[in-house]
């Protein structure tokens, strides 16, 4: 149980996934569909949780919406969620003693400190990885683009021709956390490039990535969809 606003009890999409034995991304996807169909009574409230040094997004639902969501995911598990809500409400109804309040505050401070330490370690690790990537790029700059690779301009054109996805979305997806590892850096030999480089990706990796994006996206209009890794709606026409 979480409190997004004062005195408002909620259940997270992560907890629903654990209780029903579902994948968390499947729970989030179903929630987006229900929101798009205006079946949920409240807008999706989103927050970040950390696990093993990684940050993830989760939704929070009131009692009614969590039951609707579970009924959509797996009707046989609705009773599990009902039982869980009864436990949460029973816990909330019991007043806390002064000792329990102090213990809860201490636990919360310890948890905050733990998350801060995890965040610091994650930042340090990412900085180390960035430095390693930069070293590798400096030592492995290609003089020409491999035949089985392409730069961002070619990738945008190819993906747009096949799926209708606009260039800004291709760029955001390809360079985001879903994006594949680049094939390398290519030296820009144009006379005005001043020795600069540009990133290229293997065409096969790009194709597989956007085939996956089309399957995971949630359609909200005949031509527009949403995806958890894209900042806003974008055009998608299935081939």
| Strand partners of residue 58 | 47
How do residues 64-99 score in pLDDT, each as one tens digit? 888 888 877 766 666 666 677 777 777 666 666 666
Whether residue 67 lies inside any domain: the answer is: yes
* Residue 28 and residue 83 in one domain: yes
Q: What is the pLDDT of residue 129?
A: 62
Is it the case that residue 25 has pLDDT exceeding 80? yes
4 C-beta neighbours (distance < 10 Å), count: 15
Whether residue 211 lies inside any domain: the answer is: yes
Lowest mean pLDDT among 85-89, 127-131, 141-145: 127-131
Q: What is the pLDDT of residue 100?
A: 64
Domain of 189 in residue numbering reads as 141-235
* pLDDT, the chain, mean: 78
* Residue 77 and residue 152 in one domain: no
Whether residue 107 lies inside any domain: the answer is: no
One-letter-per-residue 3-state SS of the chain: CEECCCCCEEEEHHHHHHHHCCCHHHHHHHHHHHHHCCCCCCCCEEEEEEECCEEEEEEEECHHHHHHHHHHHCHHHHHHHHHHHHHHHHHHHCCCCHHHHHHHHHHHHHHHHHHHHHHHHHHHHHHHHHHHHHHHHHHCEECCCCCCEEEHHHHHHHHHHHHCCCHHHHHHHHHCCCCCCCCEEEECCCCCCCCCEEEEEEHHHHHHHHHHHHHHCEECCCCEEECCCCCCCEECCCC
Whether residue 136 lies inside any domain: the answer is: no
Whether residue 75 lies inside any domain: the answer is: yes
Please list, residue by residue across 141-177, b when 16 or more beta carbons sit within 10 angstroms of its beta carbon and e when fewer do: eeeebeeebbebeebbebbbeebebeeebbebbbeee
Average pLDDT over residues 116-123: 71
What domain count does the chain have? 2
To the nearest 10 degrees (0 to 180), the angle between helices 152-163 and 167-175 is: 120
Last residue of a domain, one of 69, 94, 119: 94
* Residue 147 and residue 64 in one domain: no
pLDDT band, residue 5 (cuts 50/70/90): very low
Q: What is the pLDDT of residue 6?
A: 44
The region, left, alpha or beta by phi > 0 then psi within -120 to 50, assigned to residue 146 is beta
Q: Is 105 exposed, middle or buried (0-12, 13-18, 19+ CB in 10 A)?
A: exposed
Q: What is the pLDDT of residue 10?
A: 82
Whether residue 125 lies inside any domain: the answer is: no
């Amino acid at each position: 149980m979480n409190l997004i606003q004062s005195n408002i009890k909620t259940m997270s999409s992560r907890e629903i996934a654990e209780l029903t034995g579902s994948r968390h991304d499947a729970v989030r996807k179903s929630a987006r569909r229900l929101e798009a169909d205006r079946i949920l009574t409240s807008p999706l409230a989103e927050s970040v949780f950390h696990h093993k040094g990684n940050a993830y997004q989760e939704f929070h639902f009131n009692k009614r919406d969590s039951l609707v969501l579970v009924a959509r995911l797996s009707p046989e598990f609705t009773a599990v969620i009902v039982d869980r809500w009864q436990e949460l409400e029973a816990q909330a109804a019991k007043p806390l003693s002064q000792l329990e309040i102090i213990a809860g505050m201490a636990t919360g401070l310890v948890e905050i400190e733990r998350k801060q330490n995890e965040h610091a370690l994650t930042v340090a690790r990412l900085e180390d990885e960035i430095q390693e990537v930069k070293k590798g790029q400096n030592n492995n700059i290609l003089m020409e683009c491999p035949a089985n690779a392409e730069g961002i301009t070619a990738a945008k054109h190819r993906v747009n021709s096949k799926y209708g996805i606009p260039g800004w979305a291709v760029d955001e997806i390809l360079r985001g956390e879903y994006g594949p590892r680049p094939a390398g850096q290519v030296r820009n030999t144009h006379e005005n490039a001043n020795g600069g480089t540009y990133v290229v990706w293997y065409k096969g990796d790009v194709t597989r990535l956007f085939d996956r994006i089309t399957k995971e996206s949630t359609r909200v209009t005949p031509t527009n969809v949403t995806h958890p890794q894209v900042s806003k709606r974008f055009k998608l026409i299935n081939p």
